[in-house]
A and B are shown apart, each in its own frame.
Chain A
Amino acid sequence: MTRLEARGLRAGYGDRQVLRGVDLALDAPSMTALIGPNGAGKSTLVRCLAGLLPPSAGSVRLDGVELARLGRPAIARRIAVVPQLFETLFPLTVEEVVGLGRVARLGALGRARPEDRRAVAEATLDLGLGPLAARRIDSLSGGERQRAVIAMALAQEGDVLLLDEPTVHLDPAHQRATLAHIARLAASRRLVVMAVLHDLNLAGAICDRVVLLSDGQVASDGPPADVLTDRTVSAAFGDGLRVGTSDGVPYVVPAPLARFSHWQGTAGPRGALTHRRDGP
């Protein structure tokens, strides 16, 4: 059974410590949302869990083996990452992009074998990209492109899938559909899935576990109803949010604000966010 585990994990960039002692264990099959305010260390945690950033202290282990002791191809056969940005200058087709997921399994001569072609075809179909297989990636919509990149990660046929804001370029309907799809795949392929999500409502609606990261530490970890409470949310994000529940699912909305019409005719705000203009 797959277990990806961080213990006493500290990491950062140069002198800047971002993660200050994270303990987290992810078991298969599961779907976990990683939430937290900007700068809390969510992307850094994903990079550590993928073995891209070496810890300055503590460890990240996959089934008990430290990632630092595995080579890049060995990690890539187990852990797939769906990147946040997926711009490329080169006109790859959808099929070719999905095929990149097999790089870690190619032989010395780099030729695709039948099982590589099968994995690519399966991942392509799984994300409903069959009709688009021959299309160039730069001719697709944002949602289709995101699905192609998820299919690329699935073609790696690992048992851990890490997603860094997988729905950031999508409209609400596509966000929901994409995450629901990933949840189905996680269950059918028995994957460990962890997704960084900014949308707390999606996190609460689709994931069975929510991890709240704040200031480089796990502030709360558990089922959505336990983590998404007024107290934990305002401790991490400040006072501007209200938590409610609907059919047992927690949701988060902005607290009532003074509307535009309230400010009409006033002199305008003065303070930190004021746009100061120098000159005559």
Chain B
Amino acid sequence: MRFATVLAVLAAALVASLAAGVLVGAVSIAPSDVLAALGGADGPSATIVRDLRLPRVLAAALVGGSLAVAGAMLQGLLRNPLADPYVTGTSAGASLGAVGAIALGGAAAAPIVPFVAFAGALAAAAAVWRIARIGGRTTVLTVLLGGIVLTSFAGAAITLLLVANDRLALRAGTVVDLLVGGIRVTDRTELVLAGAVVAAGVASALMLAPRIDAYAFGEETAATLGVDPARTTTAILAATALLAGAAVALAGLVGFVGLVVPHALRGIVGATHRRLIAASFLAGAAALALADLGARVVLAPAELPVGAVTGLVGGPFFLALLVRSGAR
């Protein structure tokens, strides 16, 4: 009952933030015109609402939901509340894949960017898992160190590509969006594709949830409870990479959503992953839709990358959570 209430509140918050994202923007459009545009009317404001604001708001929601669900899974797998796709370098691997695809293929590469981002995320997730297990057991420290190593390696490789490759210099805007977290939706197909990938990722996350719960007392106890550790770990990392890859393809590197959302929700909905994942998707989607709204209006008509907003808001918020949990 109480969980149902939490879900209802989060769903309402998501709808409200989506509505706010469509209603508010650099150009002021009357709410009645927005409704008319959504209803199929024509005109310049209808184009802004239907072709710019709506896809962007939906993309923001998908990115936020994916990152939060991926964060919840990684935190459960690594038994570490400091894990998410950004911190573990999974997002960095995805962005290196995306930039590499653009460097090699230019504009023609656009349709394959999500797939290459997924491959990069998968490689990075597998690498951080290996690094984290050096010495036989995963510790908070090795996970974070692995993430730092991967993130700086991917960052350096992207810089190298950027300097050495003419195609990237021409598409510097896209590359900057990938690096600092800017939502860029080029066409509707991209959004639909990402939506399908995210749906598959979230569905796998929900199915894996009871097995992620079994990791609560460590990998060996998970095995005695009937989880095949190698197979399950691979499935969890693949689902994480799917979600992180989709998020990076739509919005580049966005930090803190995957870290803060599951961490904050665990105190409200409890620690079992089925609930945590469902709630994280809704809360992450609402949070990033709001963050993107902030990114668009704070310096309007100039735009801030949404990654800067999540960093500015999420950093102190996460610090507060850390201080509170340390004081307990």
Residues of A at the B interface (CB closer than 8 Å) are 47, 50, 52, 71-73, 75-77, 79-81, 83, 85-93, 96-97, 99-101, 103-106, 108-110, 149, 152, 156
- Considering only CB atoms, which chain B residue lies closest to A149 in the complex? B217
Point out the residues of chain A lying under 8 angstroms from B210, CB to CB.
Answer: 103, 106, 110
**Contact present for A90 and B271 (CB under 8 Å):** yes
Query: Given A90-B271, A105-B226, 6 more contacts at CB 8 Å?
Result: A73-B227, A92-B216, A96-B272, A101-B225, A149-B217, A156-B226
Are B213's CB and A96's CB within 8 A? yes
The verdict on B25 contacting chain A, using a C-beta distance below 8 Å, is no
Closest to A112 in B: B210
Give Cα A77 to B79, complex, Å: 25
Q: List 25 A-B contacts (CB under 8 A).
A: A50-B224, A73-B226, A73-B228, A81-B224, A83-B220, A85-B217, A85-B218, A86-B217, A88-B79, A91-B266, A91-B270, A92-B213, A92-B271, A96-B271, A97-B216, A100-B214, A100-B225, A103-B227, A104-B225, A105-B226, A106-B210, A109-B207, A110-B206, A110-B207, A156-B225
What residues make up the interface of B, taking CB atoms closer than 8 Å to A?
Answer: 76, 79-81, 206-211, 213-214, 216-218, 220-221, 223-229, 266-267, 270-272, 274
Contacts of B221 in A (CB 8 A): 81, 83, 86
Q: Are B228 and A72 in touch, CB under 8 angstroms?
A: yes
Shortest Cβ distance from residue A113 to the other chain B in the assembled complex, whole angstroms: 12
Residues A90 and B224 in contact, CB atoms below 8 Å apart:
no
Given the complex of chains A and B, what is the CA–CA distance between A80 and B227 in angstroms?
13
Chain A residue with the shortest CB-CB distance to B221:
A83
CB < 8 Å neighbour of A89 from B81, B206, B207, B211: B81
- Total residue contacts A-B, CB cutoff 8 A: 92
- The smallest C-beta distance from A17 to any residue of chain B, in angstroms, reads 18
- Distance to closest chain B CB from A255 (angstroms): 38
Contact A103/B79 with A52-B220, A76-B226, A90-B266 known, Cβ cut-off 8 Å: no
Question: What is the bound-complex CA distance between A152 and B221, given in angstroms?
Answer: 11
Assembled-state Cα–Cα distance A81/B227 (Å):
13
Q: Binding site of B, secondary structure by majority: helix, strand, loop or mixed? A: helix
**Do B270 and A96 touch (CB < 8 A)?**
yes
Question: Which has the most chain B C-beta neighbours within 10 Å: A73, A87, A88, A100?
Answer: A100
Chain B residue with Cβ nearest A93: B270
CB distance from A20 to the nearest CB of B (A): 23
Q: In the complex the two chains form, what is the Cα distance from A134 to B211 in whole Å? A: 21
List A contacts of B207 (CB < 8 A). Answer: 108-110
Tell me which residues across on chain A come within 8 A of B79, comparing CB atoms: 88-90
Pairs of residues from A and B, 3 with the lowest C-beta to C-beta distance, nearest first: A104-B226, A76-B226, A90-B271
Q: Please name the residue on chain B nearest to A153 by beta carbon.
A: B224
- Bound form: Cα–Cα A81–B223 in Å: 10
Query: In the docked arrangement, what's the CA distance between A110 and B211, Å?
Result: 8
Query: Closest chain B residue to A102 by CB distance?
Result: B210
- Which of B223, B226, B267, B270 is packed against the most chain A CB atoms within 10 Å? B226
Q: What's the least CB distance linking A132 to chain B, in Å?
A: 16
Contact A80 B267 (CB under 8 A): no
In contact, B226 and A77 (Cβ under 8 angstroms): yes
**Is B211 touching A103 in the complex (CB atoms < 8 A)?**
yes
A75 to chain B, nearest CB (A): 7
Residue of B at shortest CB range from A47?
Answer: B220
* Residues in chain A near residue B209, CB distance under 8 A: 110
Separation of A57 and B207 alpha carbons in the complex (Å)? 38
- Residues of chain A with a CB closer than 8 A to B270's CB: 91-93, 96
Closest residue on chain A to residue B136 by CB atoms: A13
Tell me, rounded to whole Å, the shortest Cβ–Cβ distance linking B53 to chain A.
37
